[in-house]
Structure 1
């Protein structure tokens, strides 16, 4: 399990990291396995179905706000969630299909640690957090209350997390048997990441079709109702159930898109909103083009890691240039292609482990040391960092299922393999590290068994929804790292433009770690804390210097400083 020491550590956008939340897979609540009688809830805003959904949300929110105690009954958290005694948990009931409010209901898991009032701070309400994915649970968010960089906010706010629909205990979604997937053993990527063979492509197409069929078979009629729009509706009901007239929200990665859609549909219900590591919300880019944009972004960050390792050649002996470090990586890749390391790490697991280096520079010392140890004849560190954890297999499968369902339901995707082949082949020639792996991850969307997909919401100012008074969005805060690979910087510029002149953008220049707030950069943290505590934004666009790069530390140094302790566990593999 990875404790969320920073907002971005719980999940990643698009090529999402699996959350550490224990999943409890069970069939989604479906009355039968026939196709749903209507795809109404998946239609775009402005349709009759959207008006019905908005009306249902309004009724649910009003009822939740009027219920005794704010509509949620908090008590002890389930022991297997591993939350501290100070955390309290509750269940929120919402319709599976907001166009059928009297149909099946689902329960969303919610967690909270009340404001500490430390230093005499006045309580400002609830701060609700979504870590992204989609497919990640925010249930662990209240754990940050004990971290030094969070204590000012934890003094003034109840810290509230929840598992969105489909995730963990919240109507868990599943597309395949996690035990069967784990039993398949190590995975091997195409021999040439820049140009998979025709046989490789045929095999991945067949796997994508089978995965999409599995989602339909296991979810049944519930499948169309795992969407961003439904997550927004759930979030508004949660806001009211917490007794909050207006929402104070922080979203990371995919959570920025969730927050931006909420702000578009309900600007008058927003109090303060921090959007960290922004998805490009242009509806023309949701989600196919946004995923294609990651190819160049991940390649830049892969270069950043190799350049760092080269600067520390004296420690790691991987090569004195980025090209030489690449050659060292290729030697390891060729070795695990022949014989999986420890019987568990093939080229797929190796790539997933090193993809984390494109997200978080904190893992650079571990990854470089693992490569160095492997080349010196010790595969142990690499195996410990890259092998899949059998205990988290169900959580990984659950995360991938929700990720796939939300992205596939949210928008139309190309159904012609020739389009995917053309677009990804062009990018992989320049950015081979992750292009095809990302494409194959998303390929089930080409064969998705939901008849009608949503049209993405046009984030930004729009006429008020049915029954809503016209309202302006209050000042919001967007955060971005200039070299972020998962959510390239252009997305932050587009989000700020769409949110309007009240949106402020804080940029960490020259840095690329995914997730900017939360102890990595003191300049960014000061702007966020001031905004959430006072409502003051720092200006239209503000730049912070990059946080320091990690210091090189060899595995021998780690062992000497912490006798008997293995190197820090790797983030869960990317789904």
Structure 2
């Protein structure tokens, strides 16, 4: 499930291939009280970050079936509870992704979250395996295979997927050859195991959590596996947890999500705020879609040179830029500016940062590894070809990408079966969801809601974008989440917020 705004889609981390990742594996099992790992906290305040931020490293087993064997290291950060109200435990921030950094999440949102929760929680984040400052692995992917526009399988302008098939096979083979046991350990289930080991290291009987996007799935898994260790769990922007649709179904849902969300951008682009009047794309909102799709088709035929990059602006690059921009209203002006410049024969289009160069090998490998390690994807190339043709016809904005083949079609089968989320898990869950979410559509969130049954309540917000809870904003949905975290108050029944 891709959790990030457009500005975060450039993605994070640093280059590491499998050989260097394996040298980072420790064989010394650091232990703390009651057999839990010891955490050696040290100050790590950052410019613009929250006061009093601390950091530590958590050793975790490479393979939980061999707890005395090789170990990896996870980066952890904490903001201590500050009162004046009594401390009530630890709140873990689980970011989206796969690929989101919990350390970054706390650095960016921790202070606002601490103020909203009256300083009653230790607010903790960790970088999952393969992310940020945690142990990494890589596949040794070729540079041309590490661009976001390549990792997202956009079909050819004529709808063909032959290049996608070849690239997917090439990436899967490189990961099988070079990724090793570290890359194979990048799974959602291991993130849950790591989270519970962190709980023990923190000395907590229970955890509270705020999971967003993919992080909400990790939260759901934790609550399913450890209901007795689950306190107040917020699941923000959720996808369908059906084991038969895990991850490949999430990708497919993005076509419908883009259609749900695009009218928000169209309304903005037909009548932008005064400061952005020069970015108006059409007189009427209903005409904006044709402006964008016609331009993408023109760029399919004649890509444009871009400023500051050797990478051209193609039709698929424009479609990818739109897909990321739909996650956040704040990205609308930049995308509208890209459309204006690309449509002008004398214009000078500038690629968004996430499209202007290849990702580091470790980052690109992680994006593939988690979703492929978690669940077995469909294998038949012909099935993808038929699905892409149908999806392109039904959803021109995404042009078949969400239905297309990925390296997971050629991946080694996962070791186990995915967990089914049910109402047998923890009973203290609050879901929050935007009505027009391009990445985890509202219709998909309803599947999670049905799975959780009476253990959850859901707050639906009449907004667009990805990520519904913003600490400190004070809108209706934000207040509902804050009341739940502070006082345990949930709506008696599922509820709706107009803002």
Shorter-chain TM-score range = 0.7 to 0.9
Contact 1:30/1:221 (<8 A) preserved: no
Gaps of 5+ in 2: 24-28
Is structure 2 residue 313 aligned with structure 1 residue 346? Answer: yes
Deviation at 1:74, TM superposition (A): 0.9
Aligned twin of 2:464? 512
Compared CA separation, residues 64 and 11, structure 1 to 2 (3 A): farther
For the residue of structure 2 that corresponds to 1:338, the secondary structure is coil
Q: In the alignment, is the contact (CA less than 8 A) between 2:145 and 2:171 conserved in 1? A: no
Aligned counterpart in structure 1 of residue 242 of structure 2, from 266, 282, 285: 282
1:10, 1:266 → 2: CA distance? 24
Q: 2:62 aligns to what?
A: 96
Shift of 1:85: 6.6
Aligned equivalents of 2:338 and 2:459: distance in 1?
34
The question of whether the paired residues in 1 share the 8 Å contact of 2:3 and 2:214 is answered with no
2:147 maps to 1:170: no
Aligned to 2:26: none
Secondary structure at 2:210 match in 1? strand
RMSD after superposition? 3.5
- Equivalent residues in 2 for 1:460-539 (5 A)? 460-462=422-424, 473-509=426-462, 511-518=463-470, 519=472, 522-539=475-492
Compute the displacement of 1:88 (Å): 1.5
How much has 1:244 moved relative to structure 2? 1.2
- 251-260 or 340-349, which deviates more: 340-349
Aligned to 1:48: none
Partner Cα distance (1:270, 1:533) in 2: 15
Q: Tell me by how many angstroms 1:278 deviates.
A: 0.7
Length, aligned pairs only: 484
1:383 aligns with 2:350: yes
The answer to whether residue 128 in structure 2 is matched with residue 128 in structure 1 is no
**Cα offset for 1:113?**
1.8
CA shift for structure 1 position 302: 2.6
Q: Secondary structure at the match of 1:351?
A: helix
1:458 — aligned with what? 420
Cα offset for 1:521? 6.0
- Residue of structure 1 in register with 2:397 after alignment: 433
CA drift of 1:176 comes to 3.6
Residues 149 and 170 of structure 1: CA distance in aligned 2, closer, same or farther (over 3 Å): closer
| 109 and 288 in structure 1: CA distance in 2 versus 1, 3 angstrom threshold | same
Task: Report the Cα distance in structure 2 between the residues aligned to 1:455 and 1:149, rounded to whole angstroms.
Answer: 35
Aligned pairs for 1:397-408 (under 5 A) are: 397-408=361-372
Counterparts of 2:147 and 2:7, CA distance in 1? 22
Equivalent residues of 1:478, 1:503 under 8 A apart:
yes
SS at match of 2:454: coil
Unaligned runs of 5+ in 1: 1-7, 33-59, 463-471, 547-575
* 2:4 alignment partner in structure 1: 11
Correspondence for 1:364 among 326, 332, 349 = 332
The aligned runs of 1:134-153 (5 Å cut-off) are: 134-144=98-108, 148=112, 151-153=115-117
**Conserved 8 A contact 1:29-1:171:** no
Structure 1: how far apart are the matches of 2:59 and 2:356? 32
TM-score (norm 1): 0.75
2:40 to 69, 73, 83: 73
Asked if the contact 2:137–2:182 (Cα under 8 Å) also holds between the matched residues in 1, the reply is: no
